[in-house]
Structure 1
Amino acid sequence: MRRRFPRWINIILGMVLTAGAPVVAGAAPAVAAGQYSNPVLWEDLADADVFRVGDTYYYSASTMHYSPGAPVLRSYDLVHWEFAGHSVPRLDFGSKYDLTGGRGYVRGVWASFLNYRPSNSTFYWGGCVDFNKTYLYTAKSVEGPWNQLTTINNCYYDAGLLVDDDDTMYVSYGNTNISVAQLSADGKTQVRTQQVFSSPSNIGTLEGSRFYKRNGSYYIFVTHPANGQYILKSTNGPFGPYTAHQVLLNMRSPISGGGVPHQGGLVQTQNGDWYYMAFVDAYPGGRVPVLAPVTWTSDGWPVVQTVNGGWGASYPFPNLPSHEVKPPTGVDTFAGTALGPEWEWNHNPDNTKWSVDNGLRLQTATVTNDLYSARDTLTHRILGPSSTATITLDYSGMKDGDRTGLALLRDSSAWIGVKRDGTNTKLAMVNNITMDGNWNTTNTGTEAASTTISGGRIWLRVTADIRPGTGRQGIFSYSTDGVTFRQLGPGFVMGNAWQFFMGYRFAVFNYATKSLGGTVTVPRFELSTP
């Protein structure tokens, strides 16, 4: 039986997102020289925990049912980011995350913490899973290897980690009732926990804790989902008492049609400047990061610097040196023996059924007629406001009943790909693949168009418009020579409801409807923008 959300989670799920007024449209808003534009990275990267180690900035995000979980991004200027690794190598939280003992959609890695402990040169990640217990992982480098340190039998929901000046580690967490826990010196156990703040009725729900210390005062940065941000301050130690202060409420969005910037975290540069990295609800694409400078009042409260009363579509570039990072667009030929950190599987993969080394090789790992139940579906975030994924597909090793291709994956999905039935092979565009509100499959799809193919190799392409709003489409096309592409089937209208939380992704899949044994190879994946 599916575990139900606690009542307060259902309250959050019933809230209505507040859309911001139009400010920006298009991929690259016109900005003055020496300025950056928001969003700083138009990809689904919610619940940011952002911090600095030396001259390097790190960013951790939620991934829910995708594996590996909790990606870590790296930057040197807070504007240009690259994927560096994952804090959770595998979702070792039960068989439902393997798509064998159920399914873990909209579970798994929620808002979690990532921070660095200078005393032992170690990164610490922690997150509560399934409202049950908190998992802690550590690594000496964000690239890994990451290893599970311990589990704590307390749910640090939406948690933030502070490493204090004396090296003591504290975790702030909770929903509406905010608590602080002290960890043992080795980080493996909870020494003490205490509720430090209860949100008054005139503020309402608070969650998404991030924990800081500045000028001797302790701060817990919390969000009012999905339209506000507050900060709690204590001048009497980490256990309070705390006083609340409103940072923003219903602030105008920098993204046309997007929601109010909220949640995320604060970070101070090596030059002493402060910034706030929030996210904006921007469905169907997901929740995307936006950056604004912050100043502090004389009595110790942060103030977001606005432009004409709203979160700026652009700001002066941070006073930080430039440093090259890997761009989000480009070609992946799957060289080497590991996937790049920008890739994540839909649930945990069966690692005996895939490999890379001069191409991605996918054996069928599941017998099913349901894309949502198929293991070893490999996903990539869509780059907004629109982008195109193109794969080269060698389908010569398919077996009778196999299905393979390139999908737009969410709770309403569609794909273009190859169907092999007996001796017949055809290319099809399939839509109307849907889930209900409990993430059970309600429809396994309708073939909207098809054409006969031969030769064993084809190029598949999906172009996705993920600007916030209704009616945004994905267009599916194919090529037999890699040069000339033809659309197959109608445009697919993507859903923009927020309840699935994660945005649409490009997804490469290969599953069997009759028996295992088939194989396909993807020699090349390309992500491009107009």
Structure 2
Amino acid sequence: MMKRLNLSISALFLLSVFANAQNIVKHAPLGFDSLRADIAHGKIDTVVYESKTVGTKRKAMIYTPPGFSRDKKYSVLYLLHGIGGDEREWLINGQPQVILDNLYAESKIAPMLVVMPNGRAMKDDRAVGNPFDSLKVQAFANFEQDLLNDLVPFIEGKYPVYTDRENRAIAGLSMGGGQSLNFGLGNLDKFAWIGGFSSAPNTKQPELLVPDPDEAKKKLKLLWISCGDNDRLITFSQRTHDYLQATGVPHIFYLEPGSHDFKVWKNDLYLFTQLLFKPVDTSIFSQYGNGGAPGSSNLKGLKFHSDNGDGTYTNPVISADFPDPDVILVDDVYYFVSTTMFVFPGVTILKSHDLVNWEYCSNAVPRFDFHECYNLEGCNRYSHGQWATSLKYHNGKFYLLFVTLDEGGFLCTAEKAEGPWQIRKLPKGFYDPGLFFDDDGKIYVAHGYSKISITEVDANLAPKGDDVLVYTGDIRRGLEGAHVYKINGYYYLYCTYGGVDGIQVALRSKNIYGPYEQKIVISDTTQGVNFGIHQGALIKTQTGEWWTMLFVDSGPFGRFPSLQPVTWVDDWPMVGGNGKGVITYRKPNVGKEYPIKVLPTSDEFDGATLGMQWGWNHNPDSTKWSLTQNPGFLRLSTVKVVPGLREARNTLTQRMFSYYSKSIPTTAVTKLEVDQMEDGDIAGLAVFQDPYAYIAVKQINGAKYIIMVNNGKAIDSVAVNHSTIYLQAQAHFGTSLASFSYSPDNKTFIALGNELSMRFNLSVFTGNKFCLFNYATKETGGYVDFDWFRTDASLQPEVDNKGRQTKHN
């Protein structure tokens, strides 16, 4: 069976990110949860029912409304608690009886009973001990049968209630939200009204929740999904919404201010219950931010890519670590090179038709065999390796010129940007080089740190004479990153004073050797996505517009590229608008429109080659990894005995993408087969920088343990007896924290260990990366198989290695 099914690009990318704020239902009014003495009140009772599912009697709480009469019939809402609660949690913390009494007094809700059961279907169902214990986790799933076969029949036999699906609703908070979605959508013959409040990781994958969208459209009266916009579990609500939106299932997706607490859930109950058991008008769904129709979301800034789909884009143009950009236009294609340092295949080249939507083109250097340190043979090249690269096209050939601090200068050439590329070492290295082919046939390189020099070179890029110092930085130390352009009779050295608070300057002269005058073209220290924007390339489009691609130090996720307009003022290329970088702006005019592209992250490992999003931590040992030994899997065999992850070869890495919001985490999950490990082997999923952390399987004396290690220190472990394990890492761009969890079934993930405080440390000098690894601490010979690696579908449309959108089955 195919592991993925292509979806229509046009369907998913109808997503929009801006809310129609004037119609959004934002929050319940003040006093909505305050006890009022001047109104009638409902009643709370405890009921005891016989559970054949559990084999014992069980308790539930029930709310009957003001004026309850057995001469009338009522609809029923089953309201579920969270993982640490029981049938009393809503009453103790949420006071639903107060909220509902107030709504009845204002004639805002239909008559209903509210049943609050214990969702832990086991004989000892007390809310004590470890809520993640495997027996309790199973009990939460078993509650589906207890609810349907025991509790619902009991309520319908004891109380005057309607017994048809259109008068039965289910909703819950956190774990109970996941139960509500799982049980409600899984039993549309029983429930027509379904609500998930801040649904937890027990929520099934959307494809399993709604396998038949057409049936859901016919049977659902209301599907409500809500979450606080600062809730770390937001991904589970978001992924469900994304799927429902893509498949056209009407629903409310309500994002509200708040985190994972009863302030949010009381507000949800207030809003949700007003919609129940009444005629449904789907046109009002948009008042809550999203009714399932493409086009709205009330989580402002929620974005999957830079292109807004309306002729504008939002910076960063790529929300991941692509620093030191150089960009050129060849024919109608823009090419972009960035720094990858010690990661190979490296020297990544992207391509685009509009400067906004980028896709992978090639990794110009498959491996770097110029020193044993690149093989992690007793040394390493962390923070070293390939640095800022100059990209040029001249006389039918592409050129990449870069320096490594230890090995010197290197030149890569190719007839096509897609490769193949040829690499050779140069007799001289140039720091942060700017290669320039003058119109008189001469070739120059600008280079240097603080002091910028010009060196004329021959056709082989060997120096023809001495370096000529042309400018000494006088704003502060660190003038670097010189790119050379000749425009309207001036030579421009487009340089930066680097650092987090970078300054971009232009130097200009009528002569390549100077004298040069200097102009600050942008120095933006406004807190936000353009703080300290600096270092990059000037670009002229086919239509004559001028732009620049710079980058911003964006914290632990790395350095993000930013596309800025350029206005020429007195022959100076002034960047941005009014001295500041633009955030949302019109797209460049390149003569025509091009489709939105998304750089891939997920990988099913069912191809003959790795996707271009991947790179190995230093050179790989090609004999110790394979995509063909077990087709459809990435096999990683241990290479040598090492003390830890930093020294391990064949660690496969990729950049982490943020999602234009500090409240949206980036989640990665991998499926791992571990039955061929040897004692001492450690295999798993890491977030890697300095410090680093991982969750992994370790074999000790033939037994398997899941361990969580934070910067070399073992934090926690748990024994497992499964040969298939799912590991998850979740990195938060807003908090700079990463957390780790595991699952035996890819349904319920169990947290392990503590949080990693991510940093962008110059000792590594790249953004934090997700890593797949397997290394030996005792002896080699073991191997593991990674079935797939997926970034959570709630965070971006999933795409394959070629950037095509996919859907997993």
Q: Structure 1-normalised TM-score?
A: 0.86
Distance in 2, Cα, partners of 1:228 & 1:478: 44
Whether the 8 Å CA contact 2:689–2:760 is kept in 1: the answer is no
> Partner of 1:15 in structure 2?
none
The alpha-carbon deviation at position 287 of structure 1 amounts to 0.7
Over residues 101-124 of structure 1, what are the superposed CA-to-partner deviations in whole Å (9 max), with x where a residue is unaligned? Answer: 41111110111212111x1x2111
For residue 484 of structure 2, what is the aligned residue in structure 1? 211
What residue number does 1:164 align with? 438
Q: Is the 8 A contact 2:669 2:726 kept in 1?
A: yes
Aligned position for 1:271: 543
Do the aligned residues in 2 keep the contact of 1:254 with 1:313 (CA within 8 Å)? Answer: no
CA contact (8 A) 1:50 1:57 kept: yes
Asked whether 1:382 is paired with 2:643, we answer no
What does residue 17 of structure 1 align with? Answer: none
Tell me the residue number matched to 1:396: 675
Name the residue aligned to 2:781.
Answer: 517
Tell me the distance in 2 between the aligned counterparts of 1:448 and 1:178.
49
Matched residues in 1 for 2:605 and 2:464: separation? 45
The percentage of counterpart residues that share the same residue type is: 38
Matched residue of 2:374: which SS? helix
Q: How many residues align?
A: 483
Name the structure 2 match of 1:456: 723
* Partner in structure 2 of residue 233 of structure 1: 508
User: What secondary structure does 1:153 align onto?
Assistant: coil
> How far has the Cα of 1:63 moved from its partner?
1.3
Deviation (angstroms), 1:202: 4.0
1:48 aligned residue (319, 325, 329): 325
1:527 positional shift: 1.9
Cα distance between partner residues in 2 of 1:280 and 1:472: 16
* Cα distance in 2 for residues equivalent to 1:30 and 1:145: 31
- 1:183 and 2:457 aligned: yes
- CA deviation map 1:418-463 (0-9, x unaligned): 00011111111111x1xxxxxxxxxxx2222222222311111111
Superposition pairs of residues 297-308 of structure 1, within 5 angstroms: 297=569, 299-306=570-577
Assess, with a 3 A threshold, how the Cα gap between structure 1 residues 293 and 500 changes in structure 2: closer, same or farther: same
Give yes or no for contact 1:51–1:59 (8 Å, CA) kept in 2: yes
Aligned to 1:338: 609
Which 4+ residue blocks in structure 1 deviate beyond 4 angstroms?
24-27, 29-32, 496-499
Contact 1:27 1:384 in 2 (8 A): no
Higher mean alpha-carbon deviation, 246-255 vs 122-131, is at: 246-255
Q: What is the 5 A alignment of 1:56-205?
A: 56-117=333-394, 119=395, 121-130=396-405, 133-148=408-423, 150-185=424-459, 187-205=460-478
Q: Counterparts of 2:402 and 2:476 in 1: how far apart (Å)?
A: 25
Indicate how the Cα distance of structure 1 residues 137 and 30 shifts in structure 2: closer, same or farther if over 3 A, else same. closer
Residue number among 492, 496, 503 corresponding to 2:767 in the alignment: 503
Displacement after TM superposition at 1:168 (Å): 3.7
Task: Provide the residue aligned with 2:703 in structure 1.
Answer: 424
Bigger shift: 108-117 or 150-159?
A: 150-159
> C-alpha separation between the residues in 1 aligned to 2:715 and 2:405?
38
Q: 1:347 offset after TM fit, Å?
A: 0.7
The match for 1:224 among 469, 486, 497 is 497
Of Structure 1 and Structure 2, which has the larger fraction of its residues in strand? Answer: 1
Q: Name the CA distance, whole Å, in 1 between partners of 2:582 and 2:461.
A: 42
CA distance in 2, matches of 1:268, 1:472: 37
Contact 1:112 1:127 in 2 (8 A): yes
Cα drift, residue 259 of structure 1: 3.6
| Correspondent of 2:713 among 422, 446, 455 | 446
Structure 2 counterparts to residues 278-289 of structure 1, below 5 A: 278-289=550-561
Aligned to 2:732: 465
Q: Which residue of 2 aligns with 1:12?
A: none
Q: Which amino acid aligns with 2:783?
A: T
Would you say the 8 A contact 2:397–2:414 is kept in 1?
yes
Distance across 2 between alignment mates of 1:499 and 1:130: 14
Between Structure 1 and Structure 2, which shows a larger proportion of helix residues? 2
In angstroms, what is the RMSD of aligned CA positions? 2.2
Whether 1:296 aligns to 2:568 is yes
Aligned to 2:464, the other structure's residue is in SS state strand
> Match of 1:291, SS?
strand
SS of the residue 1:331 aligns to:
coil
Where 2:635 maps in the other structure, the secondary structure is: strand
CA offset digits 1:248-296 (Å, max 9, x no partner): 22442541xx741011111111111111111111111111111110011
SS of corresponding position for 2:373: helix
CA contact (8 A) 1:72 1:84 kept: yes
Match for residue 247 of structure 1 among 500, 521, 534 = 521
Mapped partners of 2:494, 2:682: distance in 1: 47
**Alpha-carbon distance, 1:78 to partner:** 0.8
Q: Is the 8 A contact 1:253 1:310 kept in 2?
A: no
User: Residues 396, 142 of structure 1: CA spacing in aligned structure 2 closer, same or farther, 3 A cutoff?
Assistant: farther
Indicate conservation of the 8 Å contact 2:670/2:726, yes or no.
yes
The amino acid across from 1:361 in the alignment is: R
Q: C-alpha displacement at 1:166, in angstroms? A: 4.3
Q: Secondary structure at the match of 2:692?
A: strand
- Point out the structure with max Rg over C-alpha: 2
Q: Structure 1 residues 325 and 367, CA, compared in 2 at 3 Å: closer, same or farther?
A: farther
In structure 2, do the counterparts of structure 1 residues 514 and 201 end up closer, same or farther at CA, with 3 Å as the change threshold? same
Q: Label 1:259 to 1:131 Cα distance change in 2 as closer, same or farther (>3 A).
A: farther
2:776 and 2:644 map into 1 onto residues whose CA distance is 10
How many angstroms apart in 1 are the aligned matches of 2:313 and 2:435?
Answer: 29
Measured in 1, the distance between the counterparts of 2:647 and 2:788 equals 25
CA offset digits 1:469-516 (Å, max 9, x no partner) = xx5211212221223322222232222455542110000000001111
Structure 1, unaligned runs of 5 or more: 1-23, 434-444
Matched, 1:407 2:407: no
Check whether the contact 2:431–2:448 (CA below 8 A) recurs between aligned residues.
yes
Task: State whether residues 690 and 763 of structure 2, in contact with CA within 8 Å, keep that contact through their aligned partners in structure 1.
Answer: no
- Residue pair 1:151, 1:188 contacting (<8 A) in 2 also: no
3-state SS of the aligned residue for 2:564? strand
Specify the alignment match of 1:319 in structure 2: 589
Tell me the amino acid that sits aligned with residue 316 of structure 1.
R
1:322 and 1:394 mapped to 2: Cα distance? 45
Seen in structure 2, the aligned counterparts of structure 1 residues 363 and 382 have a Cα distance that, compared at 3 Å, is same
1:254·1:310 contact (CA, 8 Å) conserved in 2?
Answer: no
**Displacement after TM superposition at 1:132 (Å):** 5.0
Q: What is the CA distance between 1:348 and its match in structure 2?
A: 0.7
What is the Cα deviation at residue 193 of structure 1? 4.5
Alignment check: 8 A CA contact 2:307 2:357 kept: no
The 2-side partners of 1:523 and 1:251 are apart by 45
Amino acid of the residue matched to residue 339 of structure 1?
L
| Cα pair 2:432 2:448 within 8 Å, conserved | yes
Counterpart secondary structure, 2:552: strand
Matched-pair contact (CA < 8 Å) for 1:283–1:498: no
Structure 2 gaps of 5+ residues are: 1-298, 660-664, 796-809
Kept in 2, the 8 Å contact 1:253–1:280? The answer is no
